[in-house]
A and B are shown apart, each in its own frame.
Chain A
Amino acid sequence: MNGTKYVIQKELDRVFKDKKLVFSLFLLPAVLMIGIYLLMGKLINIMVTDVQEHVPTIYVQNMPDGFNSYVEQLNFPGSVIYFYGENVLTRTDEGEKIISTEEIKENIRSGRIDLLVVFEEDFLNQVENYEEGSIIPEIRTYYNPAEDYSEEARNKFMELVINKYKTYLLAKRIGDLNQIMVFDVDRDPAASYVMDETRANAKTLSMMLPYLVIMLLFTGPMNLGIDAITGEKERGTLASMLITPMQRGQLVLGKLLALSILSCLSAVVYSVSIIVGLPDVQKVSAVGNGTVRIEPVQMVWLFIVMVVLVYLYVTIVGLIAVLSKSSKEAGSYISPVYIIVILSGIMTMFAGDFTVDIGMFGIPVYGSAIAIQKITTNELTLAQFGVNVISTVCISAILTIFIIKAFNSEKVMFNV
């Protein structure tokens, strides 16, 4: 086993004695990741505030008597233009102009006007003279759901003006509104949130986390494994170790363990930068500040599941790397594997809450993904954990044996 120790030491030295390599392997990705997320966060923020702060332009056709003063009293944030008939006088950049309702709709389509509200003619009369069984009057809105401004304008206008106006008219007709309300629902809406904070946050976390873990753990082996094995084979430096008395198995184990250690480190770097960088994820995955409480046992399981998964990844990459004749060839075989890995992660995001057959936990990669998902909601059972870890370990062991076989094959090692 001594050989293994020295091989691991050398692989780690290769990385850590080289400042440039440490920078490009660990620091740069972290900085880039945080940078990208911060930028994304900023842009989304700008967009959201922009939509919220936009002063909508709203046209109201055939407004009922007193509607304008009602709106004014509500302090609705927007410029509301009232008109009767088919045409309206507007002020544009080019001066005053008469436009028709058709032209207003055209402007909504192109995003220049946000909303058109049309009251049925004689609206108030129809409301006041309502008799049981007669038809009730209608308000029509025209807006553009493809435009954020327009959609927001309609939502606000409905919520802040039309719904209130409806209640106001109703009160005028009936007097005591309670007669028709029968009961209230939630006078204090905030008081009715009885959700379990852990579960609610964990829901978001459990959606994202398996995907991120499954994907990011693979990047380390992918970036390092090809060079450490195929690269060394190409450069002839691997052969220098093959003529020492060290057994091939020790050499293979040393390489694979060193790759696993480096991959775990780069996984930590990636995870930290995600937590720091992505504000939303930060909120839900700040394990320490009590929003998500993954129980200690499940934490330990999470760690084991991840470590075992890293070793599986390393053996997958290792086998591909050793069988490839050149780094380029290895790269082209790794890409489809990476896609499968990402898909396994994505599948958990859409899998929903359905109960999972225990056998599923034995599927390589995907099994680990759903195990991590269950851990985030503290729902992984010992049996599921066991099936996943044992299956992953067995598959990695088989792959390791294949890699050792490949190292012993002159055909693979020397392309003869």
Chain B
Amino acid sequence: MIEIENFTKVYKLSKKQRLELKTRNHIRKAVDGVSLLIPKGEIFGLLGPNGAGKTTTLRCISTLLKPTQGSIRVCGHDTIKHPEKVRKKIGFLTNEIRMDPDFSAKYMFEFFGHLHGLNDEVIGERRKKLFSYFEIEEFQNKKIEQLSTGMKQKISIAVSLVHDPEVIIFDEPTNGLDIVTARSVTNYLQLLKEEGKLVLISTHIMSEAERLCDRVAIIVNGKKVIDGSLEYIMDTTGTRNLEDAFFNLYLQYTERGKV
């Protein structure tokens, strides 16, 4: 279970960033007072347009960044007080984190297995399972730099799951993948859910979220607009699909912003 309470993340902007963003503010509130409860055994989608604060939220849950305000607990462990315990529980994938291109997929898998404290036998079993599912076996001894983007992404996914984590956090997992590969990834997420794991993904593709997620939260400009099951959201907005629901809410929110 992930418990997020009144979570706010503020970035300090450097002079360069202020120029790029054309703002005079010295800070930017990337996430603003978000509270969420994410249960296990479900796929939870964090939805929002670019810059909404999805990646920031996932990075804070994964202990890479610290919340400016509020608290986040993963499986009961506070992300600030016990980051190592949290990291033991999670598998995190985001496109800012890359596999070392100088090594082979097999090497990286074993390396991260060791860092998670697994023995060679367990690592071997996990590798067989994940590499055959994602069809990496054939390329497992090639240097990662020689492989295609899709293959690299699949290797990143496999490596992030080496320790069979209870909580899987994937930031835009199908971004840049062809439909076949994308489908194999989303199918695997469903498998993980069936195993009773907590799966948290972010996406801006509403159709994907609708097909995949049991529950979603929509955030716009760092604020949570709504969260709940798909039916609840469509009922509340009186729409028949998630995309319409999203636009409905988005317009409401921005109208309110204008007033």
Which residues of A are in contact with B by a Cβ distance under 8 Å? 2-3, 6, 10, 13-14, 18, 232, 235-237, 239-247, 410, 413-414, 416
Contacts and interface: CB of A to CB of B under 8 A. Distances in A.
B208 interface: no
B117 A236 contact: no
B99 A410 contact: no
Contact of B65 (A241, A244, A246, A416): A416
B64 A242 contact: yes
Contacts of B90: 243
Given A6-B114, A240-B159, 4 more contacts: A237-B97, A239-B96, A239-B97, A243-B90
How many B residues are at the interface, by size bracket?
20 to 34
Contact of A243 (B63, B85, B101): B63
Contact of B116 (A245, A410, A414): A245
B98 A3 contact: no
Contact of A237 (B11, B66, B88, B98): B98
A2 B114 contact: yes
B200 to A, nearest CB: 14
Contacts of B159: 240
Instruction: Determine chain A's interface SS by DSSP, over half rule.
Output: helix
B87 interface: yes
12 contacts: A6-B114, A10-B107, A13-B103, A14-B100, A236-B97, A239-B97, A240-B112, A243-B92, A244-B115, A245-B84, A410-B65, A414-B65
B66 A243 contact: no
Contacts of B62: 243
A237 B112 contact: no
B250 interface: no
B129 interface: no
A235 B111 CA distance: 18
Interface in B139-159: 159
A245 B117 CA distance: 9
Given A245-B87, A416-B65, A240 B97 contact: yes
A3 B116 CA distance: 9
A227 B101 CA distance: 13
A245 B159 CA distance: 14
A410 B64 contact: yes
A246 B126 CA distance: 20
Nearest 8 A/B pairs, CB to CB: A236-B98, A244-B115, A239-B97, A245-B88, A237-B100, A6-B114, A245-B87, A245-B84
Contact of A414 (B64, B98, B102, B117): B64
B15 interface: no
A410 B63 CA distance: 10
A129 to B, nearest CB: 92
Contacts of B84: 245, 247
Contacts of B96: 236, 239
A416 B12 contact: yes
A328 to B, nearest CB: 15
Contacts of A3: 115
A22 to B, nearest CB: 13
A247 B85 CA distance: 11
A13 B102 CA distance: 10
A10 B159 CA distance: 16
Contacts of B63: 243
A60 B133 CA distance: 99
Contacts of A6: 111, 114-115
Contacts of A414: 59, 64-65
B98 A243 contact: no
Contact of B87 (A14, A243, A416): A243
A265 B12 CA distance: 43
A241 B103 contact: no
A245 B64 CA distance: 12
Contacts of A244: 87, 112, 115-116
B117 A410 contact: no
Contacts of B99: 237, 240
B58 to A, nearest CB: 11
A359 B222 CA distance: 58
A324 to B, nearest CB: 15
Contacts of B92: 243
A138 to B, nearest CB: 78
Nearest to A411: B12
Contact of B102 (A18, A239, A413, A416): A18
B119 to A, nearest CB: 11
B158 to A, nearest CB: 13
Interface string B9-38: 001100000000000000000000000000
A246 B114 CA distance: 10
A375 B62 CA distance: 52
Contact of A241 (B11, B88, B115): B115
A104 B54 CA distance: 90
